[in-house]
Amino acid sequence: MAGKIFISYRREDDPAAAARVRDALASKFGKANLFMDVDSLIAGQRFDDELRKALAVCDVLIAITADTVDADFVANVLQIAEPNVLAKLRAVPPERLVDTLNVAYVITQAMSGVRAYAGTAMIDGDIVKDEPGNILSSPDAPSMPLLIGTTARDLPLFFPPLTDWLTDPYSYFGSHATEARAVYPDDAMCEIGRDMMMHEPARFVAKAMTARHQPAWLYRFTYAVESQRRDHKVANHSQELPFLFQTLDSLVDDQGHSVPISDNDKRVARVFSTYFTNFAKNMKLSSGGIAWPEFNPSRFELMNFR
């Protein structure tokens, strides 16, 4: 079943063109190193499972699409009458799109009590139909196995809507302020913001999937590259990604210098990445002989990589 090159195509386009690409690649790399549905799948197999397995082990994915893909998307999904709207958007310089919008700006707005996305068409009723929490709580919510998590020092962008929040972050908890001080003894404002923005939403999504009788796995990635712990004692937002994709050797510091990577860093990357690979292959989460138990909403346990 496995192949090094996965060929993806749309049957409503031109399957013959995909077949010609397959033949050309087979002459160069050998048919055994290719995966294409009509050649590699047999009757009786669960196509979705087999496709997922093939994607997990391929080295290269070739997506073959027709010239009408953009036009179809604009007309049928975006429902915009102008067919060249995507081409015009792609022609806009990145500097104009980004302008002053960056993480620092969003954080500043959030800490000042301004909703960074207020007034925008985030919910359009068609592509984005509602707030994520409402969608996941509705009978029409998607139902699927899930692996979800956050980093220890994730982004704090949402905060309680209180006027005295900045001067007294514990006021949000009312009569439970004393208990809150015990839970958040240091840097309370940011720690509460992280829980509201990242940690608890991830737990909520895992709980929503288990309510639909789907397995879920929840993690917290705490581990920081050993040579960087003077400045970063725990993982910041998105810093688990080089471990997931095992690209630690490509890390650079703020001055553009290569970051020294230890054997222990690489070991953590292999373990972390293996869990995700096994999830994609067969949803049996084990790595290095350690099984990762499914999320149990009655216990709220998670896997902490530290």
Domain boundaries, the chain: 5-69, 129-305
Q: Does the pLDDT value for residue 204 go beyond 90?
A: yes
Report pLDDT for 147. 94
Q: For residue 144, how far is the Cα from the chain centroid?
A: 15
In terms of Cβ atoms closer than 10 Å to its own Cβ (0-12, 13-18, 19+), residue 96 is: exposed
pTM of the complete model: 0.64
Among 85-89, 127-131, 222-226, 295-299, name the one with the lowest average pLDDT: 127-131
Q: What is the pLDDT of residues 233-266, one digit of tens each?
A: 999 999 999 999 999 998 888 778 899 999 999 9
Q: What is the pLDDT of residue 18?
A: 81
Q: What is the pLDDT of residue 260?
A: 94
Report the candidate in 202, 221, 216 with the shortest Cα–Cα distance to residue 269: 221
Averaged confidence pLDDT in the chain? 82
Binned at pLDDT 50, 70 and 90, residue 13 comes out as low
CATH class of 129-305: alpha beta
Give CA–CA dist 210/297, Å, rounded.
8
Residues 75-111 have pLDDT tens digits of 776 677 777 777 787 788 877 777 766 667 766 666 6
Task: Give the residue with greater pLDDT, 114 vs 187.
Answer: 187
Residue 201's pLDDT band (cuts 50, 70, 90):
very high
